[in-house]
Amino acid sequence: MDDTAVSAAASIIYQHLRNGSILDNLADNLRPQNRAEGYQIQACLEMAMESQRQGWKIAATSIAGQKHIGLNGPIAGRIVEDMMVNPGQPVPFGANRMRVAEAEFVFCMKTDLLPRPNLYETAEVMAGVASLHLGLEFPDSRFADFVAAGEGQLIADNACGYKFMMGEAVSDIWCDMTLSTHPVIGRVTGSDGQLRAEYTGSGGNVLDCPTIALTWLVNELSAQNIPLRAGEFVTTGTATLPMTILPGDQIEADFGALGRISCQLSS
């Protein structure tokens, strides 16, 4: 795609993001035909948002998640400052149509991991991690039928990025844990104070292990000639099935010995 088409596609997605509206599909001449073109539009979308990038998200890190939106593997998206909600603040529900919350392991980096020809191994990626955090993601899409939008358009749509909350760093005990088997419980309590649903999962739902997901992200960025910078974070995908949410709900993600993170959704 030439720069004019990339800019036009990003502008359309941004307008729908800003207005809380949806579109069917990008026009044929603006529709990304592969991952690289999707990431071109995504980068242009980030510039349109005029908000400092804080980190990255990974979508579709489970087989079920990939099948649900018609993908053969995960995709990456950007999280900018305007998407962040601080713990203790209500999470704006807005025009969210996906209506799910996701409990996630989040890694914050201490060193830059720069693009290179050969793949990064998990051990060297983990050597660049400063801390582990707990996160809650609230995805959404600008496409009316995001299940059928296709890989390129979903990447262009910032991998369904919408709102994200990250807690403080957890204890360093995580370094000695097997995150692939670490249990996670998600709870959704309605505005009436009644527990409506409980979701059980583990780090194994995240590309078999959150550390593997982080390594995937580093290599995905490297393939697009994008560095992962010190100070940025990566939220690695939902450890439980996506939790169905409604305005006014209370959401909690319980990571056992690692702690809990919770929030209230606006009504």
Question: Mean of the per-residue pLDDT values for the chain?
Answer: 97
Report pLDDT for 85: 98
Report the DSSP beta bridge partners of residue 105: 134
Give pLDDT < 70 ranges for the chain. none
SS3 category, 68: helix
- In 3D, which of 47, 149, 133 has the Cα closest to residue 97? 149
The whole-number pLDDT of residue 155 equals 98
Q: What is the pLDDT of residue 237?
A: 97
pTM of the predicted model as reported, rounded to 2 decimal places: 0.97
**Complete domains list, the chain, with CATH:** 52-264 (3.90.850.10)
The pLDDT assigned to 170 comes to: 98
- Of the candidates 199, 191, 193, which has an alpha carbon nearest to the alpha carbon of residue 247? 191
Contact indicator for 85, 50 with CB cutoff of 8 Å = no
Residue type at 206? V
pLDDT 10s digits, 25-68: 999 999 999 999 999 999 999 999 999 999 999 999 988 888 88
Cα–Cα separations (whole angstroms), residue 163 to 41, 80, 94, 231? 20, 9, 10, 19
